[in-house]
Amino acid sequence: MIIYVEPEDDITDVISKVKSTSADELQISPMRGSIALRSLINLRILARTAKEADKILIIATTDSTTLRLAASAGLATTDQSTNEPAETEATQTETTDSKSAKSSSKSASEPAKKSADKEKAEEEFINDSFEKEENTIISSELEEESDEKAKKDKRKSLIPNFDRFRKWIIIGAVSLVLLIGFLVWAIVFAPAADISLSIKTTKKSFSDYFTGSITFTTKEDEEDLEKAKFLLEKHTENDKKSVNFTATGERDDGTKAGGDLTLSYTSSIESSVTVAAGTTFMHGGLNYVTNDSVTLATNSSVCGFGPCTVKADVKVTASEKGEMFNTNASSDGSGWYTSAAVEVFAATAMTNGTTKLVTIVTSDDIRKAQAELDKDSATCNIKELEQTFPQNLFMIRDAQTIVKKDAISTPALNEVVSGNTKPKLEVEATCTLYGVERSKVANFIEKKVSEAIKDEAGRKVFSTGIDDAFMVKKSANESGSPITARLETTSIEIGPDITEEKVLEKALGERVGTVNSWLRSQPGIDQNSVRINTSFFWVSTIPNDPNKVKVTINSTEEE
């Protein structure tokens, strides 16, 4: 069986093909360009594999080098041009040895030592020949491999390493983007400046410029700051005080007894009598009154001639509540009396009278509780109320009012006190503080002072002193007319006309040194107080964006 060795096959591929073949005798035929069998080491490995697999291998090729190496490795060879196996040196050696052995056996007369020495000498000669040839072949192979490697390395060195270049290109691109981003941030977004300075001011009192009174109105459309008339606003608080007391009144809340009376009237002449509603009838010292009126009349058609008695029924109700008014029936009216011109002929039982005593609040109870409450009457804690006064309002001192309401009893007068609860008397007071809008007061001060110093060139109101200002009530009559007040502050600051807007107008877009020099040259500015701080050391120009420039103007009192 023939195994062809392809140019791309290596020695492991050849070994695999040998092992996978079941034939005992194989012919290995390398194709043109194949180098797997041009190595003595590979051929020796192949020979060892054949021996282990108990196979006979024949190297068939026209390449003399391969044939020589195969023979050195102990493999049988054949020239593919003649297709006749060529004996290897090893085979010839074996034949020579065999003949020698046979000659030796036939010539028993020759000394054994001479034969052994001759064999040993021949073997050493053969081994030396093989070793020299093997070293020559190995050196040749190493030179060829070294030349091939050098050629490959040379070709490889001529091809650029694009992977390495790609990495540096990416690193360079990222670095460039970061650099551009940093420059944009450093030039556009990072620059900012903080300008601070102090101006010299003079403190004045408001009374130096305005001595009139402040008036107030409760109607918004009547407010007129030109005339010092402000809209009055209120801040109220309700304060309650109460006291518990004991009710001493008592009342029967039971029901009244009632029943029917049969009245009789006797007359010898034709006449009549009327018992009005509310007529009192007595029984056992208790009074009952009629619910309705009733008339009893005699006439000749009924009585004829002589005395005549007529009867009529009427309902009565006890004058008071209580079980004591319940009585038994009387068939003859005994025990019943009245001042009317009639008699009680009979009476039914007086029933449904009940007694239910309850405790009630009396006027005397309320009077005593009021006296106790007056000892700690409801009033406002002005100090606490001032703490809750709205910050947007400017409070008027001494203008507070306290309005007390009538005391209220719970339960009310003559009402029942239930259970073990105690009645309570409570009085409420409404406390009111008055003020005006703080911003209006500040504008009023600034306007009045500005009008007074309008002839002083280059000076303005730097501070209205509103935080130290106060307004005090001057008068108010009993009819409830609006109060008047006096406005005062001693902390008005007047200084040079330097504003944040003017500083920004001059500074935006200018170099730091230019702005610094301009500020120090302005009258009224303390030269030692001028400070210009930029956000970073490389920022030497004030940004054009006013949102990135902070201007702080402080004041120092001029000595």
Amino acid at the residue 382: I
Per-residue exposure over 158-167, b if at least 16 CB sit within 10 Å of its own CB, e if not: eeeeeeeeee
Q: Rounded to two decimals, what is the model's pTM?
A: 0.47
419 CB burial (10 A radius; 0-12, 13-18, 19+): exposed
* Cβ pair 542, 549 in contact under 8 A: yes
CA 65 to CA 77: how far, in whole Å?
A: 12
Amino acid at the residue 9: D
Residue with tokens 């008592």: 250
Amino acid at the residue 520: R
Cis peptide before 390 (omega within 30 of 0): no
For residue 108, the SS3 value is: coil
Amino acid at the residue 4: Y
Q: Write down the pLDDT at residue 302.
A: 61
Question: Which sequence spans correspond to the domains of the chain?
Answer: 2-86, 162-189, 190-200+496-557, 237-247+359-390+399-432, 254-355
Picking from 428, 441, 384, the residue whose alpha carbon sits closest to that of residue 235 is 384
Residue with tokens 């001493």: 248
Q: Write down the pLDDT at residue 83.
A: 41
> What would the two tokens of residue 343 be?
């008699």
Amino acid at the residue 518: W
Tell me the pairing of strands 214-217 and 484-488.
antiparallel
134 CB burial (10 A radius; 0-12, 13-18, 19+): middle
pLDDT, tens digit, for every residue of 33-67?
888 888 888 888 888 888 888 888 888 888 888 88
pLDDT, tens digit, for every residue of 247-288?
999 999 999 999 999 999 888 777 889 999 999 999 999 999
Residue with tokens 């500015």: 525
Query: Any idea how long the chain is?
Result: 559
Q: What share of the chain is helix, strand, coil (3-state, %, to 5)?
A: 35, 30, 30
Picking from 358, 377, 373, 380, the residue whose alpha carbon sits closest to that of residue 244 is 373
Query: For 323-418, where are the alpha helices, taking DSSP H only?
Result: 363-373, 382-387
The most distant pair of C-alpha atoms in the chain lies apart, rounded to whole Å, by: 219
Could you say which residues of the chain have pLDDT below 70?
80-164, 300-306, 376-380, 476-482, 559
Q: Cβ neighbours of residue 296 under 8 Å, at least 6 residues apart?
A: 263, 264, 265, 272, 273, 274, 275, 310, 311, 312, 342
> What would the two tokens of residue 20 be?
């996978």
DSSP, residue by residue, 506-529: HHTTSBHHHHHHHHHHSTTB-GGG
Q: Write down the pLDDT at residue 356.
A: 92
Query: What are residue 328's phi and psi, to 5 degrees?
Result: -85, 160
Q: Write down the pLDDT at residue 81.
A: 46
CA 108 to CA 12: how far, in whole Å?
A: 50
Q: Cβ neighbours of residue 354 under 8 Å, at least 6 residues apart?
A: 254, 255, 321, 322, 323
CA 142 to CA 460: how far, in whole Å?
A: 103
